[in-house]
Structure 1
Amino acid sequence: MMSIVSKAALRRAIPAIASFAVASIVLPGLCGTSAFAADTDAVHIASTAPLTGSAAAYGIETMNGVHLAVEEINAAGGIGGKPIKLSEYDDQCDPTPAATAANQIISDKAVVAVVGNVCSSATLAQMPIFGRVGMPVLAATTSSPALSAKGFENFARIIPNDDIQGVASLDLGTKVLGYKRIAVLYPSDDYGQALLAIAKRAATASGAELVAAETYITGSTNDFSSVLANIAAANPDALFLAGYYADMGAAVSQSVRAFGDKHIALLANAQTQVPEYVSLAGAAAEGTWVTNVYDINNPSEQNKAFVAAYTKKFNAEPGVQAAAGYDNIYVLKQAIEENKGSTENLMPVIRATKHEGAMGTISFDKNGDNIGGSLVVLRLTGGKWVFDDESTKKLNAH
């Protein structure tokens, strides 16, 4: 079972995080932000992730992975003998505070790269700002295909975009599990709109029918009864959960009344593979299918070392967010080293980097999308996410 650190745990560790403000990180080899601009003997990296709000669990776990990698690298001598210094910004998974954070980051001339991006709508708001100064952005799990389509030359991401992940969730349902009547529940933001478009294309390509598509406002919709009733009336045999864990957990918990005795399979991507989804959705979540790009049981030496170190430090098993944050830093380290220690003109070097990390092989195409690795399938069984070997093999064969 994959696990993450809760919001309460973060509040105990960091008593106050101001809205989209810089948080000083106290880690071995790191210091507060006041000396960054004058310090030429360190590699100064900024992070932007949701640390408060409805998507905080994603950001907190991502930054746990970032922190672990920074500690390891600094303990081993840093990058080219220089320690990493990290400043952390809370983008709240919201375009407005995300844009504010981006402006704050580019005002600090010592920052050489940005990592940790989680939410597509927030990253889309930031990229034009970062692009003005050519700031390299190595995102963690922001996945909207729009980030590729817009042609940002200073952008790369650790995970495949939703043209791969979203299609995989639909292909699992239609091509592997045999469902032909698909409904979609999606947020109204950029991320949700992109997944809806992907679901339509994937359903058509597989010979399935998209019988219902219902939307909601992320973090604001609490009562899903009307949209669930519309979905039930369309008589689907599978529902694609194309949203964040808090909303999906609430919706699934309310689905029992709407669906009654009718069995509707639940298909999702990695956004739901967190303990919060399970606790919010309750017994109704049992049987949820998930496609993911990270398998905690990957037997590679890199992943085994990461899982052991993460579990020891945080007393919890890592999920995809933690692995992405961790690999974020190591890809950046490798790129700087391959650039002979220089942080100048870094983006082309990042995109040319091939890294073997906790998530497996990471390599980038001309748009900065990760094209390495493969997909895994898990199912929620007895309250735990269980790897499904047969479905994984069938999905990757398509």
Structure 2
Amino acid sequence: MAFRNFLRSTAAVALVCSAGASFAEPLKIALVETLSGPQASTGLFYRNGVIYGIGKINAEGGFGGEPVELLEYDNQGGPVGAADRVRAAISDGANIIIQGSSSAVAGQITEDVRKYNLRNRGNEVVYINVGGAAMELTGAKCHDYHFRMTPNAEIIVNALLEGMKEDGALGENVYAINQNYSWGVDVQNSTLAAADSLGFEVVEQTLHEVNKIQDFSPYVARIKESGADTVITGNWSNDLLLLMKAAGGAGLDVRFGTAFLDQPGNIGNAGAIADGHFVATSFNPEVNPEKSTAFVEDYKSVIGHYPTYVEPQGIFGMMLLKEALKSVEPTEDGLAADDLVAALEQATVETPMGTMTMRADDHQGRLPMVVQKVSRDAVYKADESEFGFVPVKVLSAEEAEQPVQDSCKM
């Protein structure tokens, strides 16, 4: 009810779920996200964060005094679907494309936007990436009109490993299991790169198909046989849910270090075996509670639950976009993409976690990180269980930042 009332009260947010309609509003934002299929368990959470963020933009006057319109397109979890939906969104007049779930999809979208902009000088669109964390997106595939609002693989893995090391939980023998595409390979490589400096050995590495495995029991058996005391994984969506389910069913006695353990269902699937597992993200409500409490309560009043999983990074990205739009004046044709690019490069916003900015050199967002551990002591519980996530290490944006990649040529 609260969610429906919020949309009514910010009637400026119009949800268009097909490519058949076109309106002449000054600013249209297209969400090209996975809204059906196995990966929808992630895509729908990004959708929540974007809807909340656009509601805040419209509550403060929209863009140029007119409401921002949100159009939704289901990319069905794949690059081909994403390419079709990006074309439809641009045809419908979208000025900004937003997407988060899957670096493979992000790679397709950023290339489609780059090519479109080369062909349409003066009528460019901007891609706001709220979740695709593969290194190449701000590396070899970087360009002026792509902005990553989420930490990349190197930022996440380094924060995670450092936090686990400081907590005395990293161990000496690490098993790396990841999805076999750009993001998973980056997590594996970042884990390997940190082994010497943090004093552990990667005893085995596994790359597996993405969202096609229904039973992870054979992989859990291999982890047991390897003698690992820690598992580092970048798995997400069904691949993490099913991995945790298999680990819980087998009573696997290892620590997990993850990027997405806070995905709803993971703690419920793993049960008590999840106690002591780790995740590195951009938000924990127990950090800066004087600010975080107001934020999570407001979000719950709108969406119906406390912000979780990938929602905060979507929200924070929209906060930076909102701040940038304040310094952009509409033209006769609406939004000038180059004006927004310049504004985003200069924007600064205070999130509940701290200061967030955008690095102009590669358009990698600079934001704080928090390493957290599953514990019964958590204030906010997960999956209606007795467990939640307690912060063990907080890194400022400056501390979490990793160098610009040599392959990025803006």
Length, aligned pairs only = 369
3-state SS of the aligned residue for 1:173?
Answer: helix
Deviation at 1:194, TM superposition (A): 1.3
Deviation at 1:148, TM superposition (A): 0.9
Structural mapping, 1:175-194, within 5 Å: 175-177=166-168, 178-194=170-186
1:71 partner letter:
G
Provide Cα deviations, 1:176-208, integer angstroms capped at 9, x if missing partner.
Answer: 424111001111122111111111111233221
Equivalent of residue 144 in structure 1, options 128, 134, 141: 134
Structural mapping, 1:183-332, within 5 Å: 183-255=175-247, 263-269=253-259, 271-299=260-288, 303-332=292-321
- The more displaced of 147-156 and 173-182 is 173-182
Please tell me whether residue 126 in structure 1 is matched to residue 109 in structure 2. Answer: yes
Deviation at 1:238, TM superposition (A): 0.5
Deviation at 1:175, TM superposition (A): 4.8
Instruction: Return 5+ residue gaps in structure 2 as ranges.
Output: 118-124, 377-384, 401-410
Deviation at 1:299, TM superposition (A): 3.3
Please tell me whether residue 60 in structure 1 is matched to residue 44 in structure 2. Answer: yes
The TM-score normalised by the length of structure 1 is 0.83
Q: Is the 8 A contact 1:145 1:194 kept in 2?
A: yes
Residue equivalent to 2:156? 165
Q: Is the 8 A contact 2:216 2:246 kept in 1?
A: yes
Deviation at 1:313, TM superposition (A): 2.1
Instruction: State percent identity of aligned pairs.
Output: 20
Residue equivalent to 2:381? none
Quote the Cα distance in structure 2 between the aligned partners of 1:248 and 1:380: 19
Quote the Cα distance in structure 2 between the aligned partners of 1:69 and 1:397: 26
Q: Is the 8 A contact 1:327 1:359 kept in 2?
A: no
Quote the Cα distance in structure 2 between the aligned partners of 1:122 and 1:35: 23
Provide Cα deviations, 1:82-111, integer angstroms capped at 9, x if missing partner.
Answer: 100010122233222222222222323x21
Instruction: Return 5+ residue gaps in structure 1 as ranges.
Output: 1-9, 14-24
3-state SS of the aligned residue for 1:253?
Answer: helix
Deviation at 1:247, TM superposition (A): 1.7
Quote the Cα distance in structure 2 between the aligned partners of 1:229 and 1:324: 34
The TM-score normalised by the length of structure 2 is 0.81
Deviation at 1:140, TM superposition (A): 1.2
Q: Is the 8 A contact 1:306 1:358 kept in 2?
A: yes
Deviation at 1:373, TM superposition (A): 2.0
3-state SS of the aligned residue for 2:366?
Answer: coil
3-state SS of the aligned residue for 2:86?
Answer: helix
Structural mapping, 1:335-374, within 5 Å: 335-341=324-330, 343-344=335-336, 345=338, 346-365=340-359, 366-374=361-369
Deviation at 1:363, TM superposition (A): 0.8
Please tell me whether residue 112 in structure 1 is matched to residue 95 in structure 2. Answer: yes
3-state SS of the aligned residue for 1:179?
Answer: coil
Quote the Cα distance in structure 1 between the aligned partners of 2:153 and 2:50: 23
2:271 partner letter:
G
1:372 partner letter:
L
Structural mapping, 1:23-62, within 5 Å: 28-31=11-14, 33=16, 37-39=22-24, 41-62=25-46
- The more displaced of 375-384 and 307-316 is 375-384
Equivalent of residue 80 in structure 2, options 73, 96, 108: 96
Residue equivalent to 1:4? none
2:351 partner letter:
G
Quote the Cα distance in structure 2 between the aligned partners of 1:275 and 1:266: 16
Higher helix share: 1
- The more displaced of 85-94 and 120-129 is 85-94
Structural mapping, 1:366-385, within 5 Å: 366-381=361-376, 383-385=386-388
Change (3 A) 1:32 1:198: closer
Change (3 A) 1:95 1:137: same
Quote the Cα distance in structure 2 between the aligned partners of 1:245 and 1:67: 21
Residue equivalent to 1:3? none
Change (3 A) 1:38 1:256: closer
Provide Cα deviations, 1:142-169, integer angstroms capped at 9, x if missing partner.
Answer: 2111101122221112222111102222
Quote the Cα distance in structure 2 between the aligned partners of 1:323 and 1:255: 27
Residue equivalent to 2:405? none
3-state SS of the aligned residue for 1:275?
Answer: coil
3-state SS of the aligned residue for 1:51?
Answer: coil
Quote the Cα distance in structure 1 between the aligned partners of 2:312 and 2:286: 12
1:385 partner letter:
G
Deviation at 1:305, TM superposition (A): 4.0
CA RMSD of the aligned region, Å?
2.8
3-state SS of the aligned residue for 1:131?
Answer: helix
Residue equivalent to 1:76? 60
Quote the Cα distance in structure 1 between the aligned partners of 2:290 and 2:345: 24
3-state SS of the aligned residue for 2:203?
Answer: strand
Query: Which consecutive aligned stretches of 4+ in structure 1 deviate over 6 angstroms post-superposition?
Result: none
Equivalent of residue 86 in structure 1, options 70, 80, 83: 70
